[in-house]
Chain A
Amino acid sequence: MSDNKYIYAVARIRSKELTLLNTAFMEQLVSAKGVSEAMSLLAEKGWSTGETGTSDFEQMLRSEEERTWDLIAELVKDMSVFDVFLYANDYHNLKAAIKEACSSQETPGIYISRGSIPVDTIKSAVSERDFSRLPERMREVASKAMDTLLHTRDGQICDAMVDRAALCDILRAGKESGSKILSDYGELTVATADIKIALRAAKTKKDAQFLKEAIAPCDTLDHTRLIETAAKGEDEVLTYLSGTVYSDAIDMLSKSASAFEKWCDDKMMDSIRQELYHPFTIGPLAAYILARQSEIRSVRIILTGKANDLSEETIRERIRATYV
């Protein structure tokens, strides 16, 4: 009977999928003469370009992100199933609040409004050092990261601790959801983040202690081996990865960080595409959220590229695979 819960929502999402941007449209955007023409094309597709002019495409992208979440909130009564997508925002806000509290300076625009916990709750819990207002999963790391920043003034280790906690939570929430797509999302998010951290740490010659604070365990990577190899060097990490399910990524990792980012997003897109044919379950809704996030990311790449006069070829290399 639980299958019945999402029949209406999935049917509506199927209609919404018709409005997602496809590869041909992305190509049209890439070929547009400038930001203005690209924005006009998006307006024809129903994107809320508003009357703010061509310079404020970030506002448009934020508004599109909000539209996605508003639609999902309309369709699903219990939004907590999608917390796995929002934990990263919560922990980003926690880092921002800790840094703001430690520096006693307010920085406008550093918080992300869409999270599973209201921004004000995080800000007040950190500024008053009353971590009991935070969910239990965040309390320990919030207190530890704040103490570390106050004692060492090392923002990097503070960030690493909070990011690791975020990754652990994403993995756990994905597994607990009971949905394959959410579980795969959690696993891939953590594994790719670990790979990025390991390579960056190997490049900057971070010690094993830092790596232990930064790398989160996951099922597809051997946590201990990744830390050991990262402490030795970049080549060791790549050699280790060649024996894992992420061996396809090695070429991209050798190429550039942005090529690897694209590989991660495209791999996620490949794994969610099967949801196009599932009429029940929460999977198609989760896939739609990821597809929208991916297309917004691609549009941001295109518009930023246009604004900075990047060549079509350079932009084309960076845009993500589409869901439809």
Chain B
Amino acid sequence: MTMGTVFALLGAALAALLAGVGSAIGVGRAGQAAAGVVTEDPNKFSQVLIMQLLPGTQGIYGLLIAFIALTNIGIMGGDANLSTSEGLLYFAACLPMAIVGLISAMQQSNAAVAGIALVNKRPDQFGKAMIFPAMVETYAILALLVSILSIFGVAALH
């Protein structure tokens, strides 16, 4: 086991960890708001459930990046002996998803909580209420793309 492999694994772990933490916090916050709405009006369950799930996607993206990174590193079968510079490159490739995943999930939950309040008062505006938290998703997707392209790019180097 080389230091390069350790750095690469650390990057993969951070992508799953930070994005997962952000999603857990985000889904939890939106869930509190959703529960408040459903307590008063159970008919709004399906609408608020969708809003609650929106901050959960970052955790899935983090998992995807971790999986791709682990496959390319060779930890999930293959040769896992990376040089330090290769390991650091994988580490850097995972960072966009890790950091943007954490922050965007938390910010998206703020927008989701506000969107749930909107649905609560104006259920007919569900589509518009969805758009506000969905806008935050853009940045998580951009980070996901950068991380994927970087991992494949680093893999092509060696």
Contact = CB atoms under 8 A, between A and B. Distances in A.
Interface of A: 4, 7-12, 14-18, 279-280
A16 B117 contact: no
B39 A17 contact: no
Contacts of A17: 121
Contacts of B39: 12, 15
Contact of B114 (A8, A16, A279): A279
A11 B32 contact: yes
A224 to B, nearest CB: 45
B40 A279 contact: no
Contacts, number: 52
B40 A16 contact: yes
Contacts of B113: 7, 11, 279-280
B70 interface: no
B121 A14 contact: yes
Contacts of A16: 40
B120 interface: yes
B29 A11 contact: no
Contacts of B32: 4, 7-8, 11
Given A11-B120, A15-B120, A279 B36 contact: no
B84 interface: no
14 contacts: A4-B29, A7-B32, A7-B33, A8-B32, A9-B36, A10-B36, A11-B36, A11-B117, A14-B36, A15-B37, A15-B41, A15-B120, A279-B110, A279-B113
Nearest to A13: B36
A16 B32 CA distance: 16
Contacts of B36: 7-12, 14-15
Given A15-B36, A18-B121, 15 more contacts: A4-B28, A7-B113, A8-B35, A8-B36, A9-B36, A10-B117, A11-B32, A11-B33, A11-B117, A12-B37, A14-B120, A15-B39, A16-B40, A279-B33, A279-B110
Contacts of A9: 36
A235 to B, nearest CB: 48
B121 A279 contact: no
Contacts of B33: 7-8, 10-11, 279
Contacts of B144: none
A11 B29 CA distance: 11
A8 B29 CA distance: 9
B63 to A, nearest CB: 25
Q: Which 8 A-B pairs have the closest CB atoms?
A: A11-B36, A15-B40, A7-B32, A12-B36, A11-B33, A8-B32, A8-B36, A279-B114
Contacts of B110: 279-280
A123 B34 CA distance: 44
B131 to A, nearest CB: 16
A58 B32 CA distance: 37
Contacts of A279: 33, 110, 113-114, 116-117
A14 B120 CA distance: 7
B33 to A, nearest CB: 4
Interface string B83-113: 0000000000000000000000000001001
Interface in B30-82: 32-37, 39-41
A279 B120 CA distance: 12
Nearest to A324: B121
